[in-house]
Chains A and B, each alone.
Chain A
Amino acid sequence: MTTADAIPQIDTDALPMGDSRDQAWRATQVAPLIAIADGYAVTTRRGAEEVLKHPDPFSSAKAFEFLQSPVPLVPIAYDPPTQTRYRQILQPFFSPRVIKPLEAELRRQIIALIDPIARRGHCDFVSEVAQVFPIQAFLTFFGLPLEMRDQFWEWKKAVIGLASAGFGAEGDAAQEGITKALEMYTYFTELIPQRRSERGADILSQILAQQPPNDLTDPEAVGLCFLFTLAGLDTVTDTLSCGMQRLAECPDKRQEIIDDPALIPAAVEELVRLDPPAPFIPRVTTTDAQIESVRLPPETRVSTYLGAVNRDPAVFENPYDIDFHRPENPHISFGLGPHRCLGSHLARLELTIVYDEWHKRIPHYRIKPGTTPKVHWPHGTIELESLHLEFDKGEG
């Protein structure tokens, strides 16, 4: 039995995440289990399997308790069997069969975003593409008007700010957040009964049309809408911004996908491996638990550091290389076990079509001289502040 003192302590906030994500993740790989400010983190594939595949004792419900969410965060903040039921209800609507038909419309939308940028010759990829497209995809998925994009941007910013501080936070900023969150809450609570009575072709209408025992209550449906804005927007923004930065910095890798667009799905997997959409997965133990022969008491926070797990040398050859030809890439950027990311199929589609349509129109680009893409850090997510790109103006 290892004693707790023997576990290396890592100051996550002090990691060089802002300038070099690779260096930062490398600094966490000092041991399979590391001690962090509010508990522990696993950094290997084996540890990740131990934690993420065993909701008992590694609970999600407990991990999300601190949010004090006023709406039930379906299904992320639940453990089996409640979570299993939610998954069974929701999974068919997030499956490839349902997502694939959105492709044509989403391609049309991303082309409409990229074309004016191609004509202009420069852009901030983060604010002009990576932040807006996931919101449009969400609106399209739920059959909401695209004109609501900027409104949702404002709402989700407030809700995420509130969620990172905890919904019970106090102060002026929290008050402002609560006001915006309430607006979004009101919007969804009015939308849901409306969609129940006038069913559209959108996915939300279909989810709401489910018959007992597969029906969601109004609060559960509002919770699902909230969760989508919390878990489905910034995650794609972040991984897409970081992936695009890597492509901008590695012209040889970029050339590979320009020469062979059929490589894009593999490139998506590789870029997502290096920059996971949600890199820190929280769990809290319900009972005594053990990882790597360390005994953890109940109520211990155990995070899974996906960026480290995806660079586990026991699983990946040359884990720090960008390689679009890996014969094996079993990364777990979309999680593992019962909480595997519900939106992974939509996320993969979004990423694939952005990289595809962008490189068709803007194959050669560079980071604007004098600007340096930086991750906002310390933070609960890995978010690029901006990514200024320059390129020759296209005909469009």
Chain B
Amino acid sequence: MKLNIDGDACTGHGLCYSLAPQFFEDDEQGYGHVIGDGVVPNNQLAEARTAVANCPEKAISFVDDLNLSLALNEETTS
């Protein structure tokens, strides 16, 4: 499971790096960036989803990853 920020959509609200600093960092303009390869361990999925859901610009997404879709599906169906 991998996080991605659409740099064109991000306007620097800064919620991602304040809510989930383990996955996101700011740059000097205040824009958010995914740290490293953006891979989210299974046990930290909730924090990552919080950051995705709270972005006012809907700039953050999970990039296609089979494991993630399965995990999300499981959660919504269970």
Residues of A within 8 A of B (CB): 88, 91-92, 94-97, 265, 327-332, 334, 336-338, 340, 344-345
The 3 closest A-B pairs by CB, nearest first: A95-B30, A328-B53, A340-B11
Contacts of A92 in B (CB 8 A): 28-30
Asked if B57 CB lies within 8 Å of chain A CBs, one says: yes
A330 adjacent to B56 (CB under 8 Å): yes
B14 adjacent to A345 (CB under 8 Å): yes
B13 adjacent to A340 (CB under 8 Å): yes
A345 adjacent to B30 (CB under 8 Å): yes
Task: State the Cβ distance, A46 to closest chain B Cβ, in Å.
Answer: 12
A95 adjacent to B28 (CB under 8 Å): yes
A94 adjacent to B57 (CB under 8 Å): no
Contacts of A345 in B (CB 8 A): 14, 30
How many CB-defined contacts (below 8 Å) exist between A and B?
52
Contacts of A337 in B (CB 8 A): 11, 57
Contacts of A340 in B (CB 8 A): 11-13, 56-57
B13 adjacent to A334 (CB under 8 Å): yes
Task: State the Cβ distance, A67 to closest chain B Cβ, in Å.
Answer: 24
Task: State the Cβ distance, A88 to closest chain B Cβ, in Å.
Answer: 7
Task: State the Cβ distance, B12 to closest chain A Cβ, in Å.
Answer: 7
Residues of B within 8 A of A (CB): 11-14, 17-18, 26, 28-30, 50, 53-58
Q: Which residue of A lies closest to B54 (CB)?
A: A330
Q: Which of B28, B50, B58 has the most CB of A within 10 A?
A: B28
Contacts of A332 in B (CB 8 A): 56
Contact of A91 among B12, B53, B55, B56 (CB under 8 A): B12
When chains A and B are docked, how far (Å) is the Cα of A299 from the Cα of B14? 34
Contacts of B12 in A (CB 8 A): 91, 95, 340
Contacts of B54 in A (CB 8 A): 328-330
Q: Which residue of B lies closest to A344 (CB)?
A: B13
Q: Which of A88, A94, A331, A345 has the most CB of B within 10 A?
A: A345
Contact of B50 among A94, A97, A327, A336 (CB under 8 A): A327
Contacts of B18 in A (CB 8 A): 96, 265
A91-B29, A95-B12, A340-B13 given; 14 more Cβ-contact pairs under 8 Å? A91-B12, A92-B29, A96-B17, A96-B30, A328-B54, A330-B53, A330-B54, A330-B58, A334-B56, A336-B11, A338-B11, A340-B57, A344-B13, A344-B14
Contacts of B29 in A (CB 8 A): 88, 91-92, 95
